[in-house]
Amino acid sequence: MSQQGDRPATTDDWWGRLYDESAPDTGPAGAPDDTIDDRFDSAADTLGAGGAADTTTRAGYGHAVDAIGVDDEDDGGDEDEDLDVGAATGSGPLSRSPAWWEARGVHPVIQQPAPAPAAPPTILDTPSGPPVPPPAQAPVPAPSPVAPAPLTPRPRAPWEPPPAAFDPGDPRPLPGAVDSPPPRVTIPAQATAPDPRSTAPRAPKAPNPPPPAPAALPTYVGDRPPTYDAEPTALPATDAEDLGQLVADTALDGARYGTYTLRAASMRGDSARYRGEPRRDALLTARFGAGASALVLVAVATGARATEGAHLSAADACRWIGGAVGRSHSRLSEDIRAGRRGDLKSGLHRLTDRTYGKLRARAAELGRDPEDYTASLRCLLLSADPECRTRVFFGVGGGGLFRLRDGAWQDLEPLLPEPADIRGEPVFGFGSARSDAPSEQTPDGDRLTMDLEITKPPGPVVEDPVPPPPEPFRFRASVARPGDTLLLASVGLAEPLRGEPALGEELAARWAPAEPPGLAAYLSDVRLRVKGYADDRTAVAVWEA
């Protein structure tokens, strides 16, 4: 019990007092009508609005409530009454007075933030003039004085997923991010684009000067051009059974081994091209062996002039000397690298004699004179060893061997020995003197004779002329220097080199640089023509690195 003697209040007593059926009901409201205006006035008093709004305010609020979607089912025809009042006061959905919450800065509807104004175009700084101002833009209306209410993020419920992580590739800005003005870009003067809005006339761009044309190389030397055309005119005649005996108008080859670069070319002369005759010069380039012991052979042969099948005899001479050198290339390569001049000269002389012996045998098979089926032969032997700079020349017949050193030509053709120099001692029994032979005279000066009266047969009668002695064998071995150019030429190029100094000067000017020419340029150099020289040309040049 309490101090007053009452019983303590229990839960049942409290519940009974709250829901006591004996208590009288409050009953209906005292106002005759319970309209939405009355409810609005009550809400305004509760919020401290300072009194009920006027009829115009109530009409606007009715339109606002309709826009929001408040249910007026219990109000009957109040909606029509509000519309009539609004029409009577001259205000409606499109023209009305601002409501009280608009004047006080309280708006029941959350406004969307206005889009940010477009960034002004970047001003390009150019060193050639002042910056170009951006174009004028339309005036932007001032923002409404009513600021939107700040949004307070609500706490996330346990069942809601966490917010997605920021993706660097997402073009959308982060919440609360402020767009920074774009940086100023400076473009170099040479890369500045012209302003398309500028009306000033543009200065014409100066055209780039054309590259200087290379100087044309002369095609001939001398006072007048040659008589014949520079290009082939007629092809040689042939039979269906003799197609294997045809030779091309021009042959071109090249290689590089060790410290030297090789270029070789052979072409028909102007007269042979005009008359449709085959090329009488033959060219052979071959390599035997591999590595440092390899041996390179270049053979040049020229058939006899004004003879039938001269090109065939030249081809046979090149083929047979090539076979002889190929079978002995190991020994020849060792002799060249060791510098055995005597062994090289005797061995190559023997191989050359065998080649000409085959030519005479071939002439006998064809029923022709050996002098008709022959050719002049000139060869070069080059070692592939970079440490060996010995260059060996050998051959029989006419032609030329030249060397370009320090811008000047040197004639290296071996001189032919005089007949008196090659005449040896008399053979015993045919005039030779011996110290132990008995004297043919008596002390008195009489000659001792013996006549056995034996009849001697008459000597042979020689009806044909005595054949000319064979061409002497030519040999030369020399050591090359860096920058030298060795030239082996047939008669068609050797004669104008010796007879026309302008040809040698022109070739020296073209070949003076250390870098050897390409095949096409080398062919153009070799075909440099001279009036009065129209024979076939074959040239083999070796450039020393």
* DSSP one-letter string for 361-400: HHHHHHT--TTTS-EEEEEEEEE--TT--EEEEEEESS-E
| pLDDT score of 18 | 63
In angstroms, the CA 540 to CA 281 distance is 13
pLDDT in tens, 517-529: 999 999 999 999 8
> Measuring CA to CA, how many Å separate 100 from each of 51, 54, 108?
12, 11, 12
| pLDDT score of 46 | 76
The count of domains in the chain is 2
For the residues 445-449, what does the mean pLDDT come to? 54
Report phi then psi at 486, rounded to 5.
Answer: -100, 130
| pLDDT score of 349 | 95
Task: Tell me, yes or no, whether 78 lies in a domain.
Answer: no
| pLDDT score of 515 | 87
| pLDDT score of 477 | 93
pLDDT at 203 over 70: no
| pLDDT score of 363 | 93
> Looking up tokens 């959350």, which residue turns up?
110
| pLDDT score of 138 | 54
- Kindly indicate the confidence band of residue 49, based on its pLDDT and cuts at 50, 70 and 90: very low
Of the ranges 96-100, 379-383, 496-500, which one carries the lowest mean pLDDT score? Answer: 96-100
pLDDT in tens, 335-345: 999 999 999 99
Q: Could you give the angle at which helices 341-366 and 310-327 cross, rounded to 10 degrees?
A: 140
pLDDT at 281 over 80: yes
How many Cα atoms sit within 13 Å of 326 on the Cβ side? 13
Q: How far is CA 330 from the centre of its chain?
A: 42
More confident residue, 52 or 302: 302
- Kindly indicate the confidence band of residue 225, based on its pLDDT and cuts at 50, 70 and 90: confident
Contact of 187 with 126, CB cutoff 8 Å: yes
pLDDT at 451 over 60: no
Contact of 282 with 315, CB cutoff 8 Å: yes
Cβ partners under 8 Å of residue 299, min gap 6: 282, 283, 284, 317, 318, 321, 322, 377, 378, 379
More confident residue, 338 or 132: 338
pLDDT in tens, 11-21: 566 666 666 66
Task: Tell me, yes or no, whether 360 lies in a domain.
Answer: yes
For the residues 73-102, what does the mean pLDDT come to? 46
Task: Tell me, yes or no, whether 269 lies in a domain.
Answer: yes
Strands (DSSP E) contained in 97-203 are: none
Token pair for 291: 């590595």
User: Which range of residues forms the domain containing residue 59?
Assistant: 33-65
CATH number at residue 296: 3.60.40.10
- Kindly indicate the confidence band of residue 357, based on its pLDDT and cuts at 50, 70 and 90: very high
pLDDT at 356 over 80: yes
Expressed in percent and rounded to 5, the helix, strand and coil fractions of the chain are 30, 15, 55
Task: Tell me, yes or no, whether 40 lies in a domain.
Answer: yes
Q: How many CB atoms lie within 10 A of CB 375?
A: 27
Strands (DSSP E) contained in 170-246 are: 220-221
More confident residue, 361 or 448: 361
> Measuring CA to CA, how many Å separate 140 from each of 111, 119, 133?
19, 13, 19
Torsion (CA) 182, 188, 189, 192 in degrees, nearest 10? -50
In angstroms, the CA 490 to CA 377 distance is 9
Task: Tell me, yes or no, whether 187 lies in a domain.
Answer: no
pLDDT at 513 over 50: yes
Closest to 253 (Cα-Cα) out of 331, 308, 313, 318: 318
Task: Tell me, yes or no, whether 158 lies in a domain.
Answer: no
In angstroms, the CA 50 to CA 44 distance is 7
> Measuring CA to CA, how many Å separate 298 from each of 242, 254, 263, 405?
26, 11, 10, 22
Closest to 535 (Cα-Cα) out of 505, 504, 494: 494
Task: Tell me, yes or no, whether 237 lies in a domain.
Answer: yes
Q: Could you give the angle at which helices 78-88 and 55-68 cross, rounded to 10 degrees?
A: 130
Report phi then psi at 467, rounded to 5.
Answer: -65, 145
pLDDT in tens, 167-183: 545 555 545 444 555 55
Report phi then psi at 220, rounded to 5.
Answer: -155, 160
In angstroms, the CA 112 to CA 109 distance is 10
Is 140 in a helix, a strand, or coil? coil
Task: Tell me, yes or no, whether 344 lies in a domain.
Answer: yes
> Looking up tokens 């080199």, which residue turns up?
497
Of the ranges 108-117, 294-303, 382-391, 401-410, which one carries the lowest mean pLDDT score? Answer: 108-117
Of 198-212, 222-236, 433-447, the range with the highest mean pLDDT is 222-236
| pLDDT score of 296 | 96
Token pair for 117: 């104004």
Mean pLDDT over the full length of the chain: 73
Query: pTM to 2 decimals?
Result: 0.56
